[in-house]
Amino acid sequence: MSDGGPTQGAVLAVDIGGTHLRAGLVREDFTAHQVEIVSSLHILEVEDPSAALLAFVTDYLGRCTGGAPPLAISVGFPATVSRDRRTVLSATNIRSMQNLPIADFLEAALGVPALIDRDVNMVLRHDMNSLHVPRQGVTVGCYVGTGLGNAISINGEILVGRHGVAGELGHLPVHGLSLVCGCGNTGCIETVASGKYFAEMASRTFPGTPMGDVLPRYSNHPKVLEFLRYVAVAIASEVNILDPEVVILGGGVVQAHGFPRETLEADVRELARKPYPSEDITFLYSKGGQQAGVIGAGIYAWDALHAGLSPAAAASLAASRA
């Protein structure tokens, strides 16, 4: 689908999720134009995902810009990304998306700067911008979607870590959990605190109930409360470690109709260290939407362009500051 917006002076931003790929041209004012949403399976589940992504991008530019190149391309992946933000390291349950030097590949093929990052980091950039969260200080984003996504901003820079894989909150190990995670470990909190788990639990516990009716009808059911408690364990663990200025909550589950925000917030405060940070946690909620990852990817590219750095230099600088 397309909104027919202007195409000049823009970066091409792509948000790849487990089900859908979203692409759009993002201008300097962080507005997205010519946004398209298509199935991502033809990119994720193929022998050569790099070539498949390039084919999509080339086709998109041909249709939306007449083939004119963007100022840069920025792509969010549902995967871990190397510290220098040039290589996709691994994606849970996506066999072909392993050790792909995708940024160099796209730059060579398109002749424009290419940036990549974890999809959840792109969403946090969007949320901080749309919610007017100051870059100064610590902001964490916790996103209960298919998995349990997490991103951390420190003074406006995304925390990447030594290997580039910081923020994997969903893989917090919890003693006593026995389910095997998609990452291969046993006991990751994501196995009981994710949208995938919630959907499976709801179908077993409330057979015949449409998924959209589960939270409005059963938000106080013991199984739902147990699910919320596990999500709160993860969030409170990060709050206790980082003592953030702001906690942004989002993802499909949190943004679903009837989601008991007050219950989750109360659980996090109960589990957080007393008196602080427990007594002074600021929760904000993602505005989400289909364009969040696209706009976040656009912000990432524009930040690099404004800094006057090559994408590789900008990513290395961000890593050195993390």
pLDDT tens readout for residues 261-295: 999 999 999 999 999 999 999 999 998 788 999 99
Tokens standing for residue 293: 């990852």
Roughly what angle, to the nearest 10 degrees, separates helices 211-218 and 222-242? 90
What CA–CA distance (Å, rounded) separates 134 from 266?
25
Tally of CA atoms within 13 A in the half-sphere of 139 that contains its CB:
27
pLDDT of residue 18: 76
DSSP β-ladder status, 32-39 and 148-154 = unpaired
pLDDT of residue 290: 87
Q: Which among 229, 184, 14 has a CA at the least distance from the CA of 102? A: 14
Query: Buried b vs exposed e over 296-309: b needs ≥16 C-beta within 10 Å?
Result: bbbbbbbbbbeeeb
Percent of the chain clearing pLDDT 90 (strictly above): 81
Of the pLDDT bands very low, low, confident and very high (cuts 50, 70, 90), residue 1 is very low
pLDDT of residue 2: 39
What CA–CA distance (Å, rounded) separates 170 from 231?
9
One fold for both 10-119 and 132-285?
yes
Q: Work out the average pLDDT over 101-130.
A: 96
In tens, the pLDDT along 32-90 reads 999 999 988 888 788 899 999 999 999 999 999 999 999 999 999 989 999 999 999 98
- Candidate from 24-38, 41-55, 89-103, 155-169 with smallest mean pLDDT: 89-103
Q: Which among 188, 158, 202 has a CA at the least distance from the CA of 320? A: 158
pLDDT for residue 316 is more than 80: no
Please check whether the domain covering 10-119 is classified as CATH 2.40.30.130: no
What CA–CA distance (Å, rounded) separates 228 from 31?
34
What CA–CA distance (Å, rounded) separates 182 from 91?
9
What CA–CA distance (Å, rounded) separates 210 from 89?
37
Strand ranges inside the chain, DSSP E = 10-16, 20-27, 32-39, 73-77, 80-81, 88-90, 98-100, 114-118, 138-144, 148-154, 157-158, 246-250, 283-285
What are the boundaries of each domain within the chain? 10-119, 132-285
DSSP β-ladder status, 138-144 and 114-118 = unpaired
Q: What DSSP state is assigned to residue 245?
A: S
Tokens standing for residue 220: 């106080």
Of the pLDDT bands very low, low, confident and very high (cuts 50, 70, 90), residue 317 is very low
Helix or strand or coil: residue 252?
coil
Phi-psi region of 161 (alpha: psi -120 to 50; beta: other; left: phi over 0): left
Q: Work out the average pLDDT over 185-207.
A: 96
The residue type of 3 is D
- Candidate from 3-12, 99-108, 225-234, 248-257 with smallest mean pLDDT: 3-12
pLDDT of residue 310: 55
What CA–CA distance (Å, rounded) separates 174 from 105?
39
Q: Work out the average pLDDT over 292-312.
A: 86
Of the pLDDT bands very low, low, confident and very high (cuts 50, 70, 90), residue 17 is confident
Count the Cβ atoms, other than its own, within 10 Å of residue 210. Answer: 9
Q: Which among 52, 10, 74 has a CA at the least distance from the CA of 315? A: 74
pLDDT of residue 322: 42
* Cis, bond preceding 244 (omega within 30 deg of 0): no
Under CATH, what is the fold of the domain 132-285? Nucleotidyltransferase; domain 5 (3.30.420)
**Which positions ≥6 away from 51 have C-beta within 8 Å?**
none
